[in-house]
Amino acid sequence: MTEQTFKVGEIVTHEEMGPVVIRSEPFAWIYGRESRYVVEVSEGSRAGKHVAVISSRLSAATFERGATVLVDGERCTVKAGPFVDKFAPARPWYVVENADGSHETSAASFLTLASVDEPITVGDRVRVLEAKHAEEEHGKLGRVIRTDGTWTPIGGGLHPYRVELDDGGTIEVRRVERVADEPASTFTHDGVTYDLTASYRDRDNDMWSFTGSTNVHGRPLVSMFADRSGGRSLGSVVEAYGPLTKVTD
2 in any annotated domain = no
Please count the other Cβ atoms lying within 10 Å of the Cβ belonging to residue 37: 25
73 shares a domain with 56: no
142 in any annotated domain = yes
Q: How confident is the model at residue 173 (pLDDT cuts 50, 70, 90)?
A: very high
192 shares a domain with 169: no
Residue of 232, 215, 237, 139 lying closest to 179 (CA atoms) = 139
pLDDT(178) > 70: yes
So what's the pLDDT on residue 163?
93
Please count the other Cβ atoms lying within 10 Å of the Cβ belonging to residue 247: 12
Domain boundary among 41, 60, 79: 60
Check: CB of residue 117 under 8 Å from CB of residue 178: yes
So what's the pLDDT on residue 60?
65
1 in any annotated domain = no
Cα-based distances in Å from 103 to 80, 94, 99, 100? 10, 10, 9, 9
5 in any annotated domain = no
242 shares a domain with 195: yes
28 in any annotated domain = yes
So what's the pLDDT on residue 1?
43
43 in any annotated domain = yes
Cα-based distances in Å from 218 to 168, 187, 214, 235? 7, 10, 5, 11
pLDDT(117) > 70: no
81 shares a domain with 53: no
238 shares a domain with 190: yes
Highest mean pLDDT among 90-104, 110-124, 137-151: 137-151
Give the count of domains, the chain: 4
Structural domain for 150, as ranges: 125-178
120 in any annotated domain = no
Q: Rounded CA gap, 196 and 170, in Å?
A: 23
Q: Give this prediction's pTM.
A: 0.36
